[in-house]
């Protein structure tokens, strides 16, 4: 089915490119009819349709790459803790905190998708979906939760031992800081190869609790990663040097395939800078960085990908209303500018200055030169300037309402 879809997309893309090659250039249409004319918008729409199909093709090929990585991992390290969700009956390949919601009362769980889709809290009025016991408040009922979890831990349940051990190690959720007792619980769970416990032990060996032991840190970290722990996979990827790019890409891909935002941001960076053996892809850089926009570096890479895609798709013309990436680029570059990563703050400031200088000296609608004292600015996105209110209204209707993104206040 995937091969058939791929072939259809390739044929459609080839046909669209042939059709576009026979038409006048976008620049010549703009010179003749104007930036906001129906003719310009129609041509821009053709470019967008072509770009959308090219994007679908790249995403399809990337999904095949990711699936191949996951298959390889399953062959090398078959999943050890797969179980079926009692609500939807779907098999959850890796049962961990990223994939399930645990109920402390009975110790059972449901998958996160069911928890979110079915609105379990509302449906069962604050009671467990499995045993119907009252669900204690995670923010206030620490003592009640602790009693529940301790019962499960005393029965040898690894998830409960990990929970209590982590609380003792950190001194949180009503537990006094007791690293010795915390380690006892964590080791009991790690002996059962609980991924969360193995991950915790790894960081203990990293020097956070015990004396640093790099070999043990790598051993436990890799064990947790191979058992499907997403944070461990992402952390393990970072331990590999640029000379071990295949391993780095392998574990980053595994973590990203399970929705780890940081790993998605890492993949986005690999694609935009053609690292770890990947071919440069602005589409995939945008796709992955968009999943981690809370991170400043990912937001910076996302806006760079948008900028380059905009230049490539529309023959270097990025101000066509309804197709302009400028407001979105400025939004995320301003976010980076206000952040704490100093090396890219300066680059963000430079890019903002360059983009604003290109667009603020003329009206976004009629293209007339606008004096600084008389020009109006879109107060919502701060990414478009106008000679007057009439042009601002016209430009909004022409497509700026699609491009405009509310700035951070």
Q: What is the per-residue pLDDT across 338-351, written as a single tens digit (0 to 9) for each? A: 888 888 999 999 99
Residue 82's pLDDT is what? 86
CB neighbours of 357 closer than 8 A, spacing ≥ 6? none
> What is the arithmetic mean of pLDDT over 126-151?
87
For the chain, percent of residues with pLDDT exceeding 90:
69
Mean pLDDT of 5-30: 94
Residue 212 CB: number of other CB atoms within 10 A?
Answer: 11
pLDDT of residue 126: 79
**pLDDT tens per residue across span 289-309:** 999 999 999 999 999 999 999
What tokens does 327 get? 């407001």
Segment 142-154 shows an average pLDDT of: 91
What's the pLDDT at 393? 94
Whole-angstrom distance, CA of residue 267 vs CA of residue 245? 12
pLDDT tens-digit series, residues 384-405: 999 999 999 999 999 999 999 8
Kindly provide the b/e burial profile for residues 377-405, where b requires at least 16 CB atoms within 10 angstroms of the residue's own CB. Answer: bbeebbbbbbbbeebbebbbebbbeebbb
According to DSSP, the residues that pair with 111 across neighbouring strands are 100
d(CA 72, CA 274): 23
Q: Could you tell me which of 291, 279, 224 has the C-alpha nearest to residue 249?
A: 279
The answer on pLDDT for 409 being more than 60 is no
The answer to which of 8-22, 85-99, 170-184, 364-378 has the lowest mean pLDDT is 364-378
Task: Render pLDDT for 348-388 as a digit per residue (tens, 0 to 9).
Answer: 999 999 999 988 889 999 888 866 556 789 999 999 999 99
* Rounded distance between C-alpha atoms, residue 259 and residue 230, angstroms: 8
What is the Cα gyration radius of the chain? 26
Give the model's pLDDT for residue 210: 64
Which whole-number Å values give the CA distances from 249 to 44, 65, 66, 279, 283, in the listed order?
36, 11, 10, 13, 18
| C-alpha dihedral sign at 211, 212, 215, 219 | positive
Neighbours of 231 (CB within 10 A): 22
Contact predicate 161/191, CB 8 Å: no
pLDDT band at 73 (very low <50, low <70, confident <90, very high): very high
- Rounded to whole angstroms, how far apart are CA atoms 372 and 361? 7
Q: Residues 143-146: contacts with CB within 8 Å, 24+ apart?
A: 143/174, 145/104, 145/173, 146/173, 146/174, 146/175
Domains observed in the chain: 83-251 (1.25.40.10), 313-403 (no CATH)
Question: Sorting pLDDT into bands at 50, 70 and 90, what band is 119?
Answer: low
* Locus of tokens 């058939």: 4
**CA nearest neighbour of 377 among 359, 398, 353, 394:** 359
* Model confidence band, residue 121 (pLDDT cutoffs 50, 70, 90): low
Asked if the model's pLDDT at residue 174 lies above 80, the reply is yes
pLDDT tens-digit series, residues 241-290 = 878 999 999 999 999 999 999 999 999 999 999 999 999 999 999 999 99
If phi > 0 it is left, if psi is from -120 to 50 it is alpha, else beta; for residue 405 that is: beta
């Amino acid at each position: 089915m995937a091969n058939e879809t791929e072939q259809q997309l390739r044929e459609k893309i080839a046909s669209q490119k042939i059709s576009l090659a026979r038409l006048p250039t976008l620049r010549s249409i703009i010179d003749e009819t104007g930036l906001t004319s129906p003719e310009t918008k129609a041509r821009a729409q053709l470019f967008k349709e072509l770009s959308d199909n090219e994007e679908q093709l790249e995403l399809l090929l990337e999904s095949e790459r990711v699936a191949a990585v996951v298959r390889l991992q399953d062959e090398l390290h078959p999943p050890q803790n797969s179980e079926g969700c009692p609500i939807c009956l779907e098999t959850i390949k890796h049962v961990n905190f990223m994939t399930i919601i645990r109920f402390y009362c009975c110790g059972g769980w449901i998958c996160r998708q069911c928890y979110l889709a079915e609105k379990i809290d509302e449906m069962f009025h604050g009671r467990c979906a499995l045993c119907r016991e009252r669900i204690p408040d995670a923010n206030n009922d620490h003592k009640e939760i602790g009693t529940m979890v301790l019962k499960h831990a005393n029965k040898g349940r690894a998830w409960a031992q990990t929970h209590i051990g982590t609380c003792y190690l950190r001194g949180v959720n009503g537990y006094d800081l007791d690293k010795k007792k915390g380690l006892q619980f964590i080791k009991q769970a790690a002996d059962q190869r609980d991924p969360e416990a193995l991950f915790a032990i790894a960081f203990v060996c990293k020097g956070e609790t015990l004396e640093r032991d790099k070999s043990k840190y790598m051993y436990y970290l890799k064990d947790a990663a191979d058992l499907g722990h997403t944070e461990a996979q992402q952390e393990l990827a970072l331990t590999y040097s640029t000379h071990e790019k295949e391993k780095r890409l392998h574990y980053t891909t595994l973590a990203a395939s399970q929705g780890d935002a940081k790993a998605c941001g890492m993949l986005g960076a690999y694609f935009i800078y053609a690292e770890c053996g990947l071919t440069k892809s602005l589409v995939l850089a945008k796709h992955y960085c968009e999943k981690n926009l809370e991170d400043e570096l990912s937001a910076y890479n996302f806006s760079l990908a948008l900028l380059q895609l905009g230049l490539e798709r529309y023959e270097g013309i990025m101000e066509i209303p309804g197709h302009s990436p400028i407001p979105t680029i400025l939004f995320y570059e301003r976010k980076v500018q206000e952040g704490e990563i100093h090396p890219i703050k300066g680059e963000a400031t430079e890019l903002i200055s360059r983009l604003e200088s290109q667009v603020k000296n003329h009206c976004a609608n009629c293209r007339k030169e606008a004096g600084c004292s008389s020009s109006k600015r879109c107060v919502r996105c701060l990414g478009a300037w106008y000679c007057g209110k009439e042009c601002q209204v016209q430009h909004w209707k022409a497509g700026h309402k699609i491009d405009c993104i509310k700035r951070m206040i």
